[in-house]
Amino acid sequence: MQDGPGANERVLPFAGIHNFRDYGDYPTAGGGRVAKGRLYRSAQHQGASPDDLLKVGALGLSTVVDLRGAREREAAPCPRPEGFGARVIFTDEETAGLAPHLQAAREVDGSEGIRGAMCRGYAAMPFRPFLVQVMRDYFAALASDDGPALVHCAAGKDRTGLAVALLHSLLGVHRDDMMADYLLTNVAGHVEARIEAGASVIRSQYGTTLSDDAIRALMMVEPNYLDAAFAGIVERHGSLDGYLRDELAVDAERRDAIRTQLLI
C-alpha cells in the first residue's frame, strides 16, 4: 500500500480548476512504482484563472482526455494556455445523458435516494458506448505517448474516477491505494468551493428543493459507488482485466506498452 506522498502533496493548487491532482507515484505489485508527474486528473477547466492556465501550460501536457459529452463541452468550454499543443481526445457524441451526479439529481431528492441512484449510475457507466470509446482512446494514447497526460470530466470524480481506477488496476496499484485515490476527491483542494459550484449548476437545472445534504451527497464520492462499477464489470467480463481486454482493447501488447511508459 501507499508509502509515497500524502493527499496534500498530490493536489495541485488551482484557483478555478477543482480536484486537480497527480495520480501517479503509487507502489505497484512486483516492486515497481507509477511515475510521478506523468498522470493528472481534474474537473473541467471553464473557471480557470490566467494563473491557472500558466500552471497548466507548465505541466508540459502531451495528451488531454476529455470524458465529457458534446453538450457538456459546449456548455463549459475549457480555455487553453498560450502555446498549448497537447492532443485532445474527446467524442462528438454523449458519454452520458448527464454527468452521473446530475442524473442522480434528476431522479431523486433525499441523500439516501441519491446514493442509491449514484450506485445504479456507476453500475451502468462502464458500458456507455461513447464513454467506452473515449476511454479506449485514452488507453491507446497511454501506450504510445511519452509526455504527461491529463484526464478529466465535469466534476473530475465519476467518469474520471472510473478511468483512473481502471488504469491503476492495470498498473498493479493495490486496491486500497486505488480506492484512497478515488476518495481523495472528498478532501482535494477547495472542497467547499467545488460543492458550491456544483450546487449552483444542480439547482439551476433542477430547482431549489434539493437539501444541502443531498447536494453534498451528489458532489462527493463513496466506496460503494466505485464498488458498484466494478461489480457490474465483473458480472459481465469476469474481471477488470477482462473488461480492459474486451471493452477497451487493452491486449497483452498494449498492457505491456502502458506499463513500460508509466512504471519506474
pLDDT value, residue 147 = 96
β-partners of residue 27 are: 33
Give the Cα separation of 174 and 176 in Å (integer).
Answer: 5
CA dihedral over 209, 111, 22, 250, signed as positive or negative:
negative
Phi-psi region of 164 (alpha: psi -120 to 50; beta: other; left: phi over 0): alpha
pLDDT tens, position by position, 190-239 = 888 888 877 777 777 665 567 788 888 888 999 999 999 999 999 999 99
pLDDT value, residue 202 = 74
Task: Give the domains, in start order, of the chain with CATH numbers.
Answer: 7-262 (3.90.190.10)
Average pLDDT over residues 166-192: 95
Sheet-wide strand order for 63-66: 21-22, 39-42, 149-152, 63-66, 87-89
Give the Cα separation of 226 and 19 in Å (integer).
Answer: 17
Work out the angle between the directed axes of helices 175-183 and 159-171 (0-180°, nearest 10): 160
Q: Which residues contact 83 (CB under 8 A, 6 or more apart)?
A: 57
Instruction: Identify which of 39, 90, 89 has the alpha carbon closest to the alpha carbon of residue 61.
Output: 39
pLDDT tens, position by position, 90-142 = 999 999 765 565 655 555 555 667 888 899 999 999 999 999 999 999 999 99
pLDDT tens, position by position, 46-69 = 999 999 999 999 999 999 999 999
Would you place residue 12 in the very low, low, confident or very high pLDDT band (cuts 50, 70, 90)? very high
pLDDT value, residue 107 = 54
Q: What is the average pLDDT value for the chain, to the nearest integer?
A: 91
Neighbour count for residue 92 (Cβ, 10 Å): 8
Identify the residue whose cell numbers are 462499477. 229
- Rounded percentage of the chain residues whose pLDDT exceeds 70: 89
**pLDDT exceeds cutoff 90 at 80:** yes
Give the Cα separation of 86 and 88 in Å (integer).
Answer: 6
| pTM of the predicted protein model | 0.91
Average pLDDT over residues 2-17: 79
3-class SS of residue 263: strand
**pLDDT exceeds cutoff 70 at 5:** no
Instruction: Identify which of 47, 152, 19 has the alpha carbon closest to the alpha carbon of residue 10.
Output: 19
